[in-house]
Structure 1
Amino acid sequence: MTHATPKTRDDLFAFLDGLDIKHSTKNHAPVFTVAESVALRDEIPGGHTKNLFVKDKKDQFFLLTVEENATVDLKTVHTRIGAASKVSFGKPEKLMEYLGVVPGAVTAFGAINDTGGNVTFVLDADLMEEMIINCHPLSNDATTSIASADLIRFMEATGHKPLVLKVTS
């Protein structure tokens, strides 16, 4: 089965522009961990994200987008997100197949590549209190800032209804 080539950052920006969503992007050296990206904090205001790509035993996939320093209890989070069982991390192949990204570049913007609606997107309620949310634009060598309300508008435009739930402790 062949999959469409994942959309690029330019595709993402064109899509946002088409929705009249304001966004700004700062390029930087590739970052793979929250620790590496902390150096950018002074330059990029707003809520910074970490993303957990998880699945349940029925192969339902979820992307949890939370504030970078928040903790998610993987033993209990399934009770909040509607998973059929405890969750485990999804494999990199599925990450590429569904969201068009590699580990280290996981982002809520991956919704643009999930044309089959295979992933349920969960935005942490605490994160959504931030005016501005920062996510990778499908690659980890840049950070894109977008208003939290516009992030939801973007997801809805991709055919996803994100769940805004408190999934962190």
Structure 2
Amino acid sequence: MLQTQEELLNILDELNINYTNHEHPAVFTVEEAAQHSEGIEGAHSKNLFFKDKKKRLFLVVTLADKPIRIKDVGKLIGASNMSFGKPDLLMEVLGVPPGSVTPFAAANIGDHEVKIVLDEELMENELLNFHPLTNTATTTITANNLVKYLEHIGQTPHIIRL
């Protein structure tokens, strides 16, 4: 299980994935993160962990400033009665606390089944920004390298327009 930013960055190095890491104070919301994004190139993200009525799990990654209606997203991804995953489930499945949700945490999924959904609009940007398993930093990588990372850890993302 990946637990630290250092472990994640080591994997990116091993995969020859270029990245830029930006340290900042802890942030817990998209709004707080925006206060520390000056000078960080690329699209900023919103990462949402959901569970539906059938107890299926979803990690939805979209643009930070994109309004999301849970019911509409559910229809697009084939889920109904979605709700946010509780903090204990989030920690069990992705190994991160609320405020640190990131597609990088997909390395921790293990035996759980989680559908990873990347917004096509987000993926149209060359550079993307995510927390590196901690909400005290932001890591910038290319959209192609995000897919490369996810495929390396055995997670195939679903890219759809939300």
Q: What is the TM-score normalised by the length of structure 1?
A: 0.91
1:61 CA displacement: 0.5
1:6 CA displacement: 4.5
1:82 CA displacement: 2.3
Q: What per-residue deviation string (whole Å, max 9, x for no partner) do you get for residues 52-104 of structure 1?
A: 11011111100111100001111121121122x22111111111011110001
Correspondent of 1:104 among 99, 103, 112:
99
The amino acid that maps onto 1:28 is H
- Kindly, what percent of the aligned residue pairs are identical? 43
Please state if 1:61 is matched with 2:57.
yes
Aligned to 1:20: 16
The 8 Å contact of residues 117 and 159 in structure 1, kept in 2 or not, is answered as no
Please state if 1:44 is matched with 2:78.
no
Separation (CA, whole Å) in 2 of partners of 1:159 and 1:34: 28
Q: Give structure 1 regions of 4+ aligned residues with deviation exceeding 4 angstroms.
A: none
1:117 CA displacement: 4.2
The 8 Å contact of residues 46 and 61 in structure 2, kept in 1 or not, is answered as yes
The 8 Å contact of residues 7 and 112 in structure 1, kept in 2 or not, is answered as no
Aligned to 1:127: 122
1:7 is paired with a residue whose SS is coil
The amino acid that maps onto 2:38 is D
RMSD across aligned positions (CA) = 1.2
1:31 is paired with a residue whose SS is coil
- Structure 2 unaligned blocks of 5 or more: none
Separation (CA, whole Å) in 2 of partners of 1:16 and 1:115: 19
- Structure 1 unaligned blocks of 5 or more: none
The amino acid that maps onto 2:53 is K
The amino acid that maps onto 1:95 is L
